[in-house]
Structure 1
C-alpha cells in the first residue's frame, strides 16, 4: 500500500493498489460468468467492477428498483402528484472514496449530489453544536469542536481519562476490534469521563446512525467510526446528499452495467444457489443460470434466508456463522408533505440527541430538486423524520415523532399533512459487542463464492455505505485475481490514528473463511 492521489482533500489518504493481471477477461481461454445476487450498493459495485474487466455478469435484485437501502421508488400523493420515496436520508461523506468512485461511473462530476453547508446537533436543552468552520486537520478539528461546544467546557478536558481515550487516537483495523470489541460503546464513553450532555451530541448521535443505542454497539465500531469521520480524516465532517430522487442516482448505474454487456434482472429474487459441475447453479424467479462465480450482496436477512434455502452451499461452519448474524432494532422513517413551509432558517438536516425517538429531521426542499419544485408550487415543505433503534411500537413511535417535530419546529403544529409515506424496517446489521470475529468475510468458504455488504467484515477503516462499496470492490477483486485478471484500486482514510498503538499486521487481500 502506498500513498495515493485519489480525489479528496486528505493528503494522508491511502491508495491500495489493485491485484495484477491481464486487463480483460476476454483474453482468457474462456470468458467467466458471474452472478451477483443483490442490486444495492455492494452488488452494483461488484457487478460494475466485474463487467468492466470483461466478465459476463447477471445481477439479480428482488425489488423493482436498484440501490438497496439507499434506493428509492416512484410514488404518488393523494392528489396524484408523482413523488419519489425511499428509506430515508443518506449522507455521502467526502471520505466515502470507494462509493464515490462507483457513482462517478454514471455521473463523472457527481452532479447529482449537492453539498450540505452544515448540520447542527441539538439536544433536549436546546444546546446546539455545529460543524461549520471547523479546521479539517486532526486533531485540531476535534479540539475546536469540543472547546466551542456548549456541552463541553475547558475544565472538562482536565477530567478526561486520557489513558482510556488512547484507543480513539490510535485506531487500527483489526487491532482496535481486538482491543475494544468486547466492550459496549456506552461503557467505553463512561470510562472516558465525557460530560453526559457532550456524550449525546459528540457520540450518541453517531452511534445511533448505526441503528443501535450505545449500550448495544461495540466500542470498537464507535472508535473506528470516530476515526473515519473525525480524528483519522482531513476531509471534514460535512457531506453531500442526492439532489435528485434515489432512482435517478442508481438507475444510471444499472444502465452502465448493461452497456458493459451485463444483464440486470430487477424484481427477480434468487431462490437458491447450488454447487454445479464447474461452478454454481443459480435458481431465480425467471429461470436458472450456470455461473463460474457468485457474489452474495444481500442484506443480512436476505443472506440468511438464501443460505438456508441452499443446503449444499458452503461448509457447515460457514453456514452456522451466516445463520448467527444479528440485525439491529427497527427504525422508522416518516416523510410528510405539509401545506405550509417550515421557517426559512431551518437547516437541511438537523441531528438530535436526548429527544427520543427522534434522531434527525430533514427538510427536503433545501436540497432535493423534486421536493423544491413541489414546495415552490404548493407553498409548503417536505419534512422527513427518522427514529433509529425503536423500542416501542410503530404506532407509538410515529405519534411521538410528530410531537417532537412540533416541539422543535413549532410552525409545523398548525400545518396540514397533504401526503405521507412511512417506512418501518429491521434489516440493518447489528454491530454488537463481541461479534466482530464472527462476521462473515468477503472471501467465502469455497473458490468462486464471495460476499459483499455493510454487514460483511473488511479489515479497513470504513463504515455504512462506504463499507458496502468497499466490500463490493474487494469481492470483485478476489474473483478477478483468481482468474488472473487485473483488479480495481481502493482508497481509504489513513489506516492508523495519529498515535498508533502496538497492533498486529493486517492483510490487504482477504483470506478464505471457514
Structure 2
C-alpha cells in the first residue's frame, strides 16, 4: 500500500467479493447525498461501470466537510466551512477516496502537534510519542502533567480492561448501555486527565460525555491509541474545503457520473423494481438507490416515502437522533497571533471553548489573506451547546468564546476584528447509550436500497469521517455483489487489541469477573490485575 495510505503492519484488509470487472448489463444508481459517504459510494459504483447520478441538496459537495466562499470587507471572497477537520493517518478508506484523484495525497499537510490545555494551564502534547501501542499511551501518560501517579493508582484496572482489547461489535454488547461519563466514573479515572484524555475525544462526537455511549468512547480509544500504530498526529488539507472535493468530482465525471448540487430529494417511490427519486420538480429513475444523507435528511426522506420499507425498519430510521448544536466562530484579525501558536489547540475545562485553530498556518486562502493584510485567521469551536437553539444563548456563547480566546492567546486582546463569521449547526449524529442495537445498517429490507453515512451502523472499528467513507464503500459493494461485480477492498485498524500481553490481561479480567469470588474455579483467578 502507498505509504500515504498507511504504514501500520497490522492494519486489517477486508477483502471484497470477487466478480466481473464491470456491471453487465449496465445499471443506473441514484446516490442521494454528496458528502463523504455519497462520494465514496458513487466512486465505488462508477469504477465498475455503473451509471451514477449523485444528487446533493447543498450547492457544494463534501457534506459536513464541504465549503463555500464569503465576502471580505475589501470585496474579495475567501473560503468558509463548518470548521476544522483532522484527517488521521488511520482513516484508510477516506484517504483511499481522496487518493483516487490525487495519488500522493499532496492536498494533505501534517500537523506537527495538537496540544491539549486545561483550565489550570497544564498542557499535554502528542509530539514525539512512539507510534506503536501500548507504548504510545504509556509514554503519553508518563509525561503528562494531568496523570499523577496517585490518581493512576486509584484507577480500577478491572473496570478499565474493556479499553485494552476492543472488538467490534462485542464492545457495543458490553458497554453500549452505559454512558461515557458513568464509565469513566466506574474506572475512577483522574478528573484532570479525564478532561484532556477523554472529554476532548467525546466532544469530537459533538456530544457531552453524559449523552455518549461508553462503547463509542472505548472504540475511539482503540482507534486512536491502543488499536493503531499510525501515531496520534494527523494531517489537514492545505486547500480550502470549497476546493477540496473538485479533483474527486472531476474523477467521477470522467467515469460518466453526473453530479448535481442544489437538488433536494423529497421522496422515493417504487414501480416494481424501478425506483423513482423525486425532488426539485424532477424525477430520476434508477435500478438502485444509495441514501447517504445526514440523519435529519434520512428521517425526513423516509417519512415522506410511506411505501418505502416495512414498519420495523422505518421505526429504526425514525429513532436516529442528532447531537446538540455546535458553534464555529471564524475571525479575521488585523494582527498575527504569536508565531509559536500551534495550528490546532484543544481545550478542556474552559467551556464553551473546545478548540482553537489558526487557519493561516495551513489553509492557503487564510494564509494569502494573512500575508496580504498582516493579520491572522482564527477559528473557535463550541461543541454540544445546551440551549443552543436560543438566540440569547447564542449571543452569550459568542461573547464567552472571545473571552476564552483572550485567555489562551492573550495577544489577541489587542487585535481588531476585521470581520467574522459565526455558524451554528445541529445535524451531527448522536450515539446515546443503548442506541447501537436499533441503528439501521447499510443493507435494508428494500432490495436495491442501501444506506451510508457516519450515523449508520457498521461493525468495524471506524468513526467520524472514516465511518462515513467506509459505509459509502460498503454500500457500493453491497449493490455490486447483487450484480455479480467485484467490490472494493477496505482497510481498518486491527479488529482487536494491538498487544498480545494486554489482550491476555483482558481475557484474564473477563474470566475473573465471570467467576467472581470463586478463587478455586480458575488457577490464579484471585490474583488482582
TM-score over 0.5 (shorter chain) = yes
| 1:7 paired residue number | 5
Asked if the contact 2:92/2:491 (under 8 Å) is kept, the reply is yes
For the residues of structure 2 that align with 1:107 and 1:335, how far apart are their CA atoms? 29
1:302 pairs with one of 297, 305, 310: 297
1:53 to 44, 48, 63: 48
The one of 286, 289, 297 aligned to 2:284: 289
**Residue 471 (structure 2) aligns with:** 471
Between the aligned partners of 2:283 and 2:377, the Cα distance in structure 1 is 44
Task: Tell me the TM-score normalised to structure 1 length.
Answer: 0.95
* Residue 365 (structure 1) shift: 0.7
Partner residue in 2 for 1:203: 198
Instruction: Answer yes or no: is the 8 Å Cα contact 2:4–2:104 preserved in 1.
Output: no
SS at match of 2:398: helix
2:4/2:105 contact within 8 Å kept: no
Contact 1:452 1:468 in 2 (8 A): yes
Residues 350 and 124 of structure 1, relative CA distance in 2, 3 Å threshold:
same
Match of 1:263 among 248, 258, 263: 258
How far does the alpha carbon of each residue in 1:332-387 deviate from its partner, in whole angstroms, 9 at most, with x for none? 00000000110111110000000000000000011111111110110100000000
1:336–1:421 contact (8 Å) kept in structure 2? yes
Aligned counterpart, 2:347: 352
Rounded Cα–Cα distance in structure 2 between residues aligned with 1:21 and 1:279: 24
Per-residue displacement from partner, 1:213-263 (whole Å, max 9, x unpaired)? 111110000000110011100001100001011122112212211110011
**Residues 405-420 of structure 1 mapped to structure 2, 5 A cutoff:** 405-420=405-420
The alpha-carbon deviation at position 7 of structure 1 amounts to: 3.2
Distance 1:105 1:196, change over 3 A: same
| Structure 2 Cα separation of the partners of residues 6 and 378 of structure 1 | 35
Deviation of 1:4 after TM superposition, in Å, equals 12
Deviation at 1:287, TM superposition (A): 1.5
SS of the residue corresponding to residue 78 of structure 1 reads: coil
In structure 2, runs of 5+ residues without a counterpart are 388-392, 511-529
Q: How many residues align?
A: 498
Give the Cα–Cα distance (whole angstroms) in 1 for the partners of residues 111 and 234 of structure 2.
Answer: 6
Cα distance between partner residues in 2 of 1:85 and 1:119: 22
User: Which of 122, 139, 142 pairs up with 2:117?
Assistant: 122
Equivalent residue for 1:364, pick from 339, 356, 359: 359
1:170 is aligned to 165
Equivalence for 2:15: 17
Shift of 1:90: 0.2
374, 384, 408: which one aligns with 1:389? 384
Who is 1:448 aligned against?
448
**Residue among 82, 102, 105 paired with 2:100:** 105
8 Å CA contact 1:6, 1:15 repeated in 2: no
**What's the offset of the Cα at 1:5?**
9.2
Distance 1:278 1:189 in 2: 50
Moved more, 16-25 or 474-483: 16-25
- Give the Cα–Cα distance (whole angstroms) in 2 for the partners of residues 464 and 416 of structure 1: 35
Contact 1:5 1:15 in 2 (8 A): no
Q: CA separation in 2, counterparts of 1:286 and 1:14?
A: 45
Moved more, 331-340 or 393-402: 393-402
* More off after superposition, 374-383 vs 150-159: 150-159
| Paired position in structure 2 for 1:512 | none
Partners of 2:76 and 2:380 lie apart in 1 by: 21
Aligned partner of 1:439 in structure 2 is 439
Which residue number in structure 1 is paired with residue 228 of structure 2?
233
Shift of 1:153: 1.9
Distance in structure 1 (CA, Å) of the matches to 2:118 and 2:142: 17
Aligned equivalents of 1:209, 1:5: Cα separation in 2? 27
Task: Check the 8 A contact 1:4/1:14 in 2, yes or no.
Answer: no
What SS does the aligned partner of 1:413 have? helix
What is the aligned partner in structure 2 of residue 193 from structure 1?
188
1:286 Cα deviation after fit? 5.1
Which moved further from structure 2: 379-388 or 106-115? 106-115
Superposed counterparts of 1:469-508, under 5 Å: 469-497=469-497, 498=499, 499-500=502-503
SS of residue in 2 equivalent to 1:151: coil
Separation in 2 of the partners of 1:137 and 1:231? 8
Q: How far is 1:284 from its partner?
A: 2.3
- Mapped partners of 2:28, 2:281: distance in 1: 17
1:249 maps to 2:244 = yes
Structure 1 residue 391: Cα displacement: 1.3
Whether the 8 Å contact between 1:279 and 1:448 is mirrored in structure 2 is: no
Residue by residue over 1:50-107, the C-alpha shift from the partner in whole angstroms, topping out at 9 and shown as x without a partner, is 0000001000000010000001012111221210000000000000000000000111
User: CA–CA distance in 1 between the matches of 2:265 and 2:304?
Assistant: 10
Deviation of residue 207 (structure 1)?
Answer: 0.5
Please give the alpha-carbon distance, in whole angstroms, between the structure 2 residues aligned to 1:187 and 1:162: 16
| 2:430 partner SS | coil
Instruction: Name the Cα RMSD after superposition.
Output: 1.4
Shift of 1:14: 0.2
Q: Judge which range, 269-278 or 331-340, deviates more.
A: 269-278
TM-score by length of 2: 0.92
Determine whether 1:403 maps to 2:403: yes
